[in-house]
Amino acid sequence: MGLADRYYMREEYHASRLTTKLIVTLIVAFVIESILLFYFKIDILTPLGLTVDGLQHGKVWQLFTFQFLHTAPWPFHVLFNCLGLYFFGRPIEERLGPKKFLVLYLLSGIAGGLLQATTTAVLPQHEDFPVVGASAGVCGMIAVFCSLYPMQELTTWIYFFPVTVRAKYFLMFLALFSLYGTIIPFGNVAYAAHLGGILLGISYVRWGDRVEGVWDWNPFKSWRRKDRSARPSLAKTSRWKRSRPSDPSELPSEEFISREVDPILDKISAHGIQSLTEEERRILEAARNKMAKR
C-alpha cells in the first residue's frame, strides 16, 4: 500500500452504519422479550439481567446480556435509549470508526454494570433487582461526545420548553445527577450504571489514546509503533513536535516516511485531521507528491 493510500485511509469518513444496527438489535431484542413475556409468561430478566447474586454465582455473561434487554412491555425505556444512541452514537462512530465505537460502547456498559453491582453490594438499602438497559453504554457515548465537543450547544426539552446548554455543562449535570442517584437511589433506576458509563467515556477521551492495545486489535501494528517510538532518534523529543530539517521532503523516501510522516498519521488517528498544524499539512502534501512520482 502506498503512502498516499495510507494517508487517505486515515482521513476516511466512517458512516454510522453500526449505530443503526445496534438500534435495530435493541428493538428486535425488546420485541422478542415482550412476546415471550406476554404470550408465554417467560421472564428472561432474571437469568439475563444483571444482579449481584448472579455475578456471585459466576453468571458473568450478565455484564453483556443486560445491555440488550429493557423493561417490557412498555416501550419508553428502549425508545429513549435508542434516541440517545442515535444522536450521540452516530457522531462518535463517524469520529472513531466502527471498531473503536463498538468496543467503547460495550466497555461503557460493562463499566456501568460493575459499578452498579459494586454499589448494590457495598451500600446499604440498595435492592438487588435485575438491572437491564443500554443506558450505561449510551451514557458512555454522551460522555465521549461532550468531552470531545465541550462547546457544542445541545437542546433538550423540559416540560415542553426547549432549553439550550453547552455540552460540557450537560455532562456535568448528568454526572452529578447520576452520582446523587447512586448514593441515594430513587425511582427504581440504576444510576450507578449511568455513572459508570460516564466515567469510562471521560476516561477514554482523557487517556484512551495512551492505551493503544485496548483500541487496536492488531498486535503487529502496536508492536511497530512501540519499536518506532523507542528509536534513539525519537527519544529526546515529542513524537509530533521534534525538530525537522528545513526541507524534509528532500530526505530519502523511507527515512522521510519514518521520521516525518508516520508520526503525523498517528496524530490524525489519535486526535483527528483537524488537529494538524499548517506545517504538518504541508509535509503530508509533500509526501503525497513524492509517492506519486514513484
- Domain shared by 171 and 125, yes or no: yes
- Which structural domain range is residue 37 located in? 7-210
- Domain shared by 34 and 99, yes or no: yes
CATH number of the domain where residue 193 is located: 1.20.1540.10
Alpha helices in the chain (DSSP H): 3-10, 17-40, 45-48, 52-56, 62-65, 76-84, 90-96, 98-122, 135-148, 167-183, 191-207, 212-215, 219-229, 232-235, 253-256, 262-271, 278-292
Kindly report the backbone phi and psi dihedral angles of residue 166, in degrees, each rounded to the nearest multiple of 5, phi listed first.
Answer: -70, 150
Does residue 242 belong to any structural domain of this protein?
A: yes
Does residue 1 belong to any structural domain of this protein?
A: no
- Domain shared by 171 and 225, yes or no: no
Does residue 18 belong to any structural domain of this protein?
A: yes
- Domain shared by 184 and 272, yes or no: no
From 147, 181, 210, the end of a domain falls on 210
* pTM of the full structure: 0.70
From 210, 230, 245, the end of a domain falls on 210
- Domain shared by 285 and 162, yes or no: no
Instruction: Look at residues 261, 294, 293 and name the one whose alpha carbon lies nearest to residue 280.
Output: 261
Number of domains in the chain: 2
Question: pLDDT in tens for each of the 294 residues of the chain?
Answer: 444 444 444 445 567 799 999 999 999 999 999 999 999 999 999 899 999 999 999 999 999 999 999 999 899 999 999 999 999 999 999 989 999 999 999 999 999 999 999 999 999 889 999 999 999 999 999 999 999 999 999 988 777 788 899 999 999 999 999 999 999 999 889 999 999 999 999 999 998 766 555 545 444 444 444 444 444 433 333 444 444 444 555 556 666 666 777 777 777 766 666 667 878 778 877 777 766 665
From 190, 210, 230, the end of a domain falls on 210
Say how far apart CA 200 and CA 223 lie, in whole Å: 25
Does residue 37 belong to any structural domain of this protein?
A: yes
- Taking CA atoms, 18 is separated from 3, 15, 90, 209, in Å, by 28, 8, 8, 22
Does residue 40 belong to any structural domain of this protein?
A: yes
